[in-house]
Chains A and B, each alone.
Chain A
């Protein structure tokens, strides 16, 4: 099948013919109809986060079930599905306690290095990123990573459900527990940031301040629910946020960029008792410095890490798909552009210039 392969860090995404195995045990073979370009795929294909090479990246897929392994119970051929890189075994104590995002055995259903490779090229193993390897015509995914969605949801819109949506909207709804009347700030209006904004709006936040250097993103930010926008070029970001909140600051600040500087700004923009949610992927070796008393204790603040929006994907993805069909959740505007598998490199260059929210590879 055709797949975009990355042979080593920084080598980009090259379309090649590779082999994909048949589904074993609880695996599902998905015919990929849409595959979103998440910024994280780029980050981990360039920096060393420990992903074995060569690899097929991509993890935001929507498609149709083509074949199922003998132990699959949740899906049948023809189902429309979305994959997520959230791994939960659904059998450990944490999963059984209703907290699958704390799963202690996330790789339970993954193939081991001793098993035949899911993906290969002339006998050479190719890594399927996050058990999905979405930049490909087909994907072999364990059923614990798949969610069935209504057929009415278009594939390109559905593809963003598995990562950007659950990460962003989940950060607001699950991780931060945004409630009616809250004031929030969202640093970064990319694919994930827009979902933080609309998650906060869905949850009833009163004030949603969107911060981004790229002013062309403000229109989308407003469309997704931002009540105010802040351009750091207009003056001190923290001062601007305080001015918009009567000097008090925000209850919840989401850092969706992945920089030390904006984590600090988020912390300084908090009201008494407020929390910073660190959503954006930071560099693996990055550290954050702070003073206990002035930075954290006087303001009674919290710095809270967020991974994949603290999501329970089987429930959350199904829920957001329903909200979309009700017209209460925007997926269409998260997809800026349709591209072919061979256009991934180019699309990532555009992403870095800030011109697009999300390009999606579409397959016939």
Chain B
């Protein structure tokens, strides 16, 4: 089958023929129908920290083609999406409704001595977050898949497993946004827009979206931002506080993955406000906070967010149902649909800040 293969860090994705194994006991083989281009794939592809060669892509929607003989939850023909949360469903964290804190995420991987899911001749090819969505087919552990209603188009559904889960989850789960909260969101890309709409769903009183790109600010308003700020036109901190009636906010989400926006996020907090760090930051590049004046005395919190604290089997069907009811915007998350062969160009556009989300669609 055709897949986009990364052979060196910093290199392009190459469209190649790749062999995919049959599902073992707990695996599911799916025909990929849509695969979202998340910024995280690109960051790892450029910075490293992953094995090569590798097929990336982790925002996947498709149809089940075959299941392993221990799989009971899925059957051929089911519409499914993949989710970045890897869980064993056996440990204490999983039992307590926190699969995103699973102690044995490797449970969804094949053992090291087993044949690789993806190969090219004798060469093993790695997956990313145990998935490999930039391909015509994907072989995944059943724990990473969630069934979705068939009336949700694949090119919307694919976003549920990462951008939506991360963004909505950051607001609803990790951030615990409540009715009446005031919220600031730094960065209105695919994840940031979902933070905005999660906060809106939760009844936040003010949702102030900050992004230097005018198109993204406009999109943020469509997703529920009550106010927007152009950080290039005015001091972002002053602007946010002015829009928040002279007070700091309850929750500030850093979704851009930058140190300067993180510092701004801390500075827009009201008493007992918290910063949720969502965006993937550069490694070996520490941030610095004023621990007494910026954290302790005002009782501020800084909370690291991991995959929106998502419980896939609970959260994803909930988001799917909201979409069916017209209460969750997925349609405007997809800026452009492309073919697998266009992946490099689409990522170049993403880097230039031009798009919310490009999605590879397969016939």
Contact = CB atoms under 8 A, between A and B. Distances in A.
Interface of A: 94, 99, 101-102, 104, 175, 260, 263, 272-273, 278-279, 281-307, 310
B299 A273 contact: no
Nearest to B296: A305
Interface of B: 93, 98, 100-101, 103, 174, 247, 262, 270-272, 274, 277, 280-281, 283-293, 295-306, 309
A312 to B, nearest CB: 13
A272 B301 CA distance: 17
11 contacts: A101-B271, A104-B271, A263-B291, A272-B93, A278-B291, A285-B290, A295-B304, A304-B300, A305-B300, A306-B299, A310-B299
A104 B301 CA distance: 18
Contacts of A287: 288-291
B283 A260 contact: no
Given A273-B101, A293-B281, A300 B304 contact: yes
Contact of A302 (B281, B296, B304): B304
Given A101-B299, A278-B295, A292-B277, A300 B286 contact: no
Nearest to A309: B299
A272 B281 contact: no
Given A290-B287, A292-B281, A296-B277, A283 B292 contact: yes
A301 B291 contact: no
B291 A260 contact: yes
B291 A300 contact: no
Given A94-B271, A291-B286, A307 B297 contact: yes
A296 B290 CA distance: 16
B271 A281 contact: no
Contacts, number: 118
Contact of B286 (A102, A175, A283, A289): A289
A289 B287 contact: yes
Nearest to A263: B291
Contact of A291 (B98, B272, B284, B295): B284
Contacts of A303: 289, 295, 301-303
A295 B277 CA distance: 12
A281 B299 contact: no
A282 B281 CA distance: 27
A297 B174 CA distance: 11
B298 A307 contact: yes
A298 B126 CA distance: 21
A266 to B, nearest CB: 12
A295 B274 CA distance: 17
Contacts of B285: 291
Contact of A297 (B101, B103, B277, B301): B277
A51 to B, nearest CB: 15
A288 B288 CA distance: 5
A301 B304 contact: yes
B304 A102 contact: no
A284 B293 contact: yes
A175 B272 CA distance: 10
B84 to A, nearest CB: 13
A64 B176 CA distance: 44
A272 B174 CA distance: 13
A263 B290 CA distance: 13
B299 A293 contact: no
Contacts of A299: 304
A300 B270 CA distance: 22
Nearest to A99: B272
Contact of A102 (B271, B290, B292): B271
B301 A302 contact: yes
Contacts of A94: 271
Nearest to A291: B286
A300 B309 CA distance: 9
Nearest to B280: A293
Nearest to A282: B292
Contacts of A298: 304, 306
A55 B297 CA distance: 22
Nearest to A295: B304
Given A263-B291, A292-B277, A296-B303, 18 more contacts: A94-B271, A101-B272, A104-B271, A272-B101, A281-B292, A281-B296, A287-B290, A287-B291, A291-B281, A292-B262, A292-B304, A293-B281, A296-B304, A300-B306, A301-B303, A302-B301, A304-B301, A305-B296
A286 B296 CA distance: 11
Contacts of B301: 302-305
Nearest to A302: B303
Contacts of B103: 272
Contacts of A306: 296, 299
8 A-B pairs closest in CB distance: A296-B304, A297-B304, A305-B296, A282-B292, A305-B295, A102-B271, A288-B291, A292-B281
A289 B288 contact: yes
A273 B303 CA distance: 9
* Residue of B295, B296, B299, B306 with most partner-chain A CB within 10 A: B296
* Residue of A283, A297, A310 with most partner-chain B CB within 10 A: A297
Contacts of A296: 277, 302-304
A282 B296 contact: yes
